[in-house]
Structure 1
Amino acid sequence: MQKLRCIRNKQENFRMPENNNIEYGLFEGDPPRLETFKKVSIVPLIFLIFYEVSGGPFGVEDSVQAAGPLLALLGFLVFPFIWSIPEALITAEMGTMFPENGGYVVWVSSALGPYWGFQQGWMKWLSGVIDNALYPVLFLDYLKSGIPALGGGFPRIIAVLILTVALTYMNYRGLTIVGWVAVFLGVFSILPFVVMGLVAVPKLDPSRWFVVNFDNINWGLYLNTLFWNLNYWDSISTLAGEVENPKKTLPKALFYALILVVFGYFFPLLIGTGAVPLDRDLWSDGYFSDIAKILGGVWLRWWVQGASAVSNMGMFMAEMSSDSFQLLGMAERGMLPEFFGKRSTHGTPLTGILFSASGVILLSWLSFQEIVAAENFLYCFGMILEFIAFVKLRMKYPAASRPYKIPVGTMGAILMCIPPTLLILVVLAIASLKVMGISLIAVLIGLVMEPCLNYSKKKKWLRFSTSSDLPDLLVHNNSEFSESLID
């Protein structure tokens, strides 16, 4: 009788679908949160998303080397419609449906079960850590033209360690600090390209924008560069529980960040390819600083290099925030040991930060192209699970509360996922055997790790718990609910 009374109490908290069968359990309103720590407002959130995805045009130079000016420019105009906009829209809908830390892990768990939710968390966390290993590499690539000693050897290793420790400490101090630092760094990163554009006006030759040679295109490098520079819109969902009024703030922040990101790529490419004679071999990491020197002199080159440095700092901090809060969210859901859910006195996930920083240090020896290819491969697997979860939740639980809902029906949701899914298949197909092998080994590790953690939970070797601050996200079909009443 007591069990029946508890079930009835839970039933009052479930949203009732139109067919009067209880199918989806989701508390209305924002879930209760720790109110001790200040939440992130819309302006810092926009720049956190900006740094999760972009951080400025640093790293897009390879698109010109791979395919020439015309395809590079078209890529950064067309690619957002194929990938960025669908991913941002899905993030807005699912992030407001599940406004808690863990983000896409919770989406996939609710649609496909905790096993696949864990696989999503493992692949996306590993992808994020690999991605974060890029930023010390890019940081040093831009500085090595002015400080040649940073090009390799012991000084480069020390520089990577110092940078990682300093930025990790800033993440430890609090997400609101990271957010407002991101605003300052974002403005500083964008300004030199505005100045470069003004200086370049007399030297622009529009005919240079239309140069293309279809017999000399590195499609693998081209697509990987576009994909890497325009993805990770879903990363901000892993810290939705730290956002002020996420059901309204998150969709707005994604919209403004999308405009900022596309403009931040297209405008510098337009200036760089139109104002300087084309030499595709020179278009590699750090070439924008050379263009700045040609157009404005040494002072502008140093400004661009400084902007690159702070941009990589911003991207590092934003990515580490996402990765570490994802681990915290998984621990709050009982997917990881309890110590991953412990917060520091600043409200930050200390264990998650340390794990993410360790991964960055271990992977920072890889080259830029190897890092991009490896993280893209793992990221693709995670995105496939997200698309499946998005469509399945639309189909099975149409009446569930969605504070922001993409204005398309079920068929529209399916059609929206087709172009990015085809792109994913292309990215997977062009991966090298080395990258493919390493990535598949990483996936297999995740497939084995989840049952091992469950076994350690049963044996009580590690302590697991589910946070009482979170809502029940229980998915029942009618027969399962009836069976629970009988029991």
Structure 2
Amino acid sequence: MRRFCQFLILTILIKKLPLRKRLHILQLAAIVFFTVSGGPYGLEPLLGYAGTHGALLLLIVTPILWDVPAILTVLELNSMMPVTGGYYQWVKKTLGLRFGFYEGWWTWLYTFVDLAIYPVLFVSYASFFFPEIAHFKIPICLVIIWAGAALNIVGISPVGKASLMLGLLVIAPFIVLFVIAINNGTHFSFPAPSLKGIPFSSIGMALYTVMWNFFGWDNTTTYAEEVDRPARTYLKSISIAFATVILVYIMVLYSTLHYNINAQTLNEQGYPALGLLAGGEWLGAAISIGGMAGALGLFSAVLLSVSRVPQVMADDGLLPAKIHTLHPRFKTPYISIIICAIVVSFMILWSFQELIIIDVTLYGAGLFLEFITLIVLRIKSPTVHRPFRIPLSVRGLCVMVFLPVALFAIALTGAFAEDGKMFMPAVFAVAALVSAEVFWQIIKMVKKRI
């Protein structure tokens, strides 16, 4: 849901606001929220992995260790370089073209994985209405992928008003769910947070689930030049969005624990099953519709925007310019769209949990390069003006960066230990990381021959 809402809201804001001052605090806060979260869809497996005691603890601890360092890094780097291309430009200008390629390549790959997640989610939520649909997962996902590709080649343009409707479809059912839970009349309090008795492999998978539902803060910097007073606006907008994301997740967790739904049922049937318990058929259907609508729209919007990454890389000579050849009639980058659709068609063979492992691993590696960029700039350019500056020394920054890196390592190690179930996606994710160096060497050889 997050990137679709980002795209729609950004579209209507650009149309309505003056060119010099397009995005202000609340407008950007809404975009950041939908970019990072857009609702709790995809958080369902957490209860099964972490249990009732561990779920709350991880929802509190993970944002502090994983998100806060990332947010602070994004704020400082973006205040120094509020440029189109965001994180790719930061890394390239600081660490060089090679690591800029790494950043762009990994971003491209994890976007493929993101694209594969949404058709899978659509099938999951559609099963509320059609229980047998899971048996036809692959053909349905392929139809969604190639229909979305066709629409993007034609040049589909979302309508601005749909942003408000989508927001209601995604968020409103969960607000109703929470209100019903607190007015239920039954006394309930959160269980004491604890990870005692939870296997290490389950902790790793729980971390991946929460991390996936909390990443993407740097994605909102790619249009920083269209934000009014970016340093101040990003600081306030991200703070508002961060608090909102946590609040929404806590509300949903409260409702989940209040009704004491079976973890396996929640994982298999999703939040619609919780809606059935709380409000009956209508609330379960509303949550399902929100999940389906968001997954469809999000896939189309992400596919529409993913062409920006290879375009910037092609401008630097890192990818063939032909990838961005425009369709003679529709003037859309149809070759890039087709390549994306082909790759994503193979990615849907993975399950939702497996895709999350690949997605977070690739994203985490790119985030690590941004951390390195932050520290290198502090050492090499300590006097350069930073409208926002993290109040830490270089040593303090190293400690701050260590926290999300350590969390990332725990999650990856736990995935490898998950009884062999998640071993292959974890290996695939590591291989995808290594592929950046392989393709970099190929690029170097090709450039020498030219």
Same fold? TM cut 0.5: yes
Distance 1:422 1:253, change over 3 A: same
**For residue 437 of structure 1, what is the amino acid of its counterpart?**
V
Name 1:192's counterpart in structure 2: 173
Is 1:450 equivalent to 2:440 in the alignment? Answer: yes
Deviation track 1:278-308 (CA, whole Å, cap 9, x = no partner) reads: 4232231543111111111111111011111
* Alpha carbons 1:329, 1:341 under 8 Å: kept: no
Name 2:264's counterpart in structure 1: 281
**For residue 370 of structure 2, what is the amino acid of its counterpart?**
E
Distance 1:97 1:183, change over 3 A: farther
- In the aligned structure 1, how far is the partner of 2:230 from the partner of 2:257? 39
**For residue 391 of structure 1, what is the amino acid of its counterpart?**
I
SS of the counterpart of 2:415? coil
Distance 1:329 1:99, change over 3 A: farther
Name 1:49's counterpart in structure 2: 32
Name 1:206's counterpart in structure 2: 188
* Alpha carbons 1:320, 1:356 under 8 Å: kept: yes
Is 1:388 equivalent to 2:372 in the alignment? Answer: yes
- In the aligned structure 1, how far is the partner of 2:443 from the partner of 2:116? 27
Distance 1:317 1:85, change over 3 A: farther
5 Å-filtered alignment, 1:141-220, equals: 141-153=124-136, 156-168=137-149, 177=158, 181-200=162-181, 201-207=183-189, 209-210=191-192, 214-217=196-199, 218-220=202-204
* Alpha carbons 2:124, 2:270 under 8 Å: kept: no
- In the aligned structure 2, how far is the partner of 1:453 from the partner of 1:180? 44
Give, in angstroms, the shift of residue 118 of structure 1.
0.8
Distance 1:243 1:211, change over 3 A: closer
Q: Which of 119, 122, 126 is equivalent to 2:105?
A: 122
Name 1:7's counterpart in structure 2: none
**For residue 359 of structure 1, what is the amino acid of its counterpart?**
V
Give, in angstroms, the shift of residue 402 of structure 1.
3.1
Q: Which of 197, 222, 225 is equivalent to 2:206?
A: 222
Instruction: Show structure 2 runs of 5+ residues with no match.
Output: 1-17, 417-422
**For residue 54 of structure 1, what is the amino acid of its counterpart?**
S
* Alpha carbons 2:40, 2:252 under 8 Å: kept: yes
Is 1:70 equivalent to 2:70 in the alignment? Answer: no
Q: TM-score, structure 2 length as denominator?
A: 0.82
Distance 1:328 1:147, change over 3 A: same
* Alpha carbons 2:357, 2:429 under 8 Å: kept: no
Distance 1:359 1:247, change over 3 A: farther
Is 1:363 equivalent to 2:363 in the alignment? Answer: no
Name 1:135's counterpart in structure 2: 118
- In the aligned structure 1, how far is the partner of 2:78 from the partner of 2:337? 22
Give, in angstroms, the shift of residue 65 of structure 1.
0.9
- In the aligned structure 2, how far is the partner of 1:89 from the partner of 1:138? 31
- In the aligned structure 1, how far is the partner of 2:446 from the partner of 2:21? 35
Deviation track 1:112-136 (CA, whole Å, cap 9, x = no partner) reads: 2111211122122212211221111
Give, in angstroms, the shift of residue 430 of structure 1.
2.0
Distance 1:203 1:286, change over 3 A: farther
* Alpha carbons 2:149, 2:300 under 8 Å: kept: yes
Deviation track 1:365-396 (CA, whole Å, cap 9, x = no partner) reads: 21111111122222222222221111111111
**For residue 453 of structure 1, what is the amino acid of its counterpart?**
I
Is 1:292 equivalent to 2:275 in the alignment? Answer: yes
Give, in angstroms, the shift of residue 191 of structure 1.
0.6
Give, in angstroms, the shift of residue 198 of structure 1.
1.8
Name 1:332's counterpart in structure 2: 315
Distance 1:452 1:306, change over 3 A: same
Distance 1:166 1:253, change over 3 A: farther
CA RMSD of aligned residues (A): 3.3
Task: Tell me which moved more, 262-271 or 422-431.
Answer: 422-431
SS of the counterpart of 2:267? coil
- In the aligned structure 1, how far is the partner of 2:381 from the partner of 2:243? 32
Q: Which has the larger radius of gyration?
A: 1
* Alpha carbons 2:121, 2:295 under 8 Å: kept: yes
* Alpha carbons 1:138, 1:285 under 8 Å: kept: no
Distance 1:89 1:355, change over 3 A: farther
Name 1:323's counterpart in structure 2: 306
Name 1:236's counterpart in structure 2: 220
Deviation track 1:176-235 (CA, whole Å, cap 9, x = no partner) reads: 948874454223211111111222221544256448673344212211111111122222
**For residue 52 of structure 1, what is the amino acid of its counterpart?**
T
Name 2:424's counterpart in structure 1: 434
Q: Which of 295, 299, 317 is equivalent to 1:312?
A: 295
* Alpha carbons 1:76, 1:226 under 8 Å: kept: yes
Task: Tell me which moved more, 171-180 or 298-307.
Answer: 171-180
**For residue 306 of structure 2, what is the amino acid of its counterpart?**
D
* Alpha carbons 2:358, 2:425 under 8 Å: kept: yes
- In the aligned structure 2, how far is the partner of 1:211 from the partner of 1:293? 27
SS of the counterpart of 2:109? helix
- In the aligned structure 2, how far is the partner of 1:43 from the partner of 1:351? 37
Instruction: Show structure 1 runs of 5+ residues with no match.
Output: 1-34, 461-487
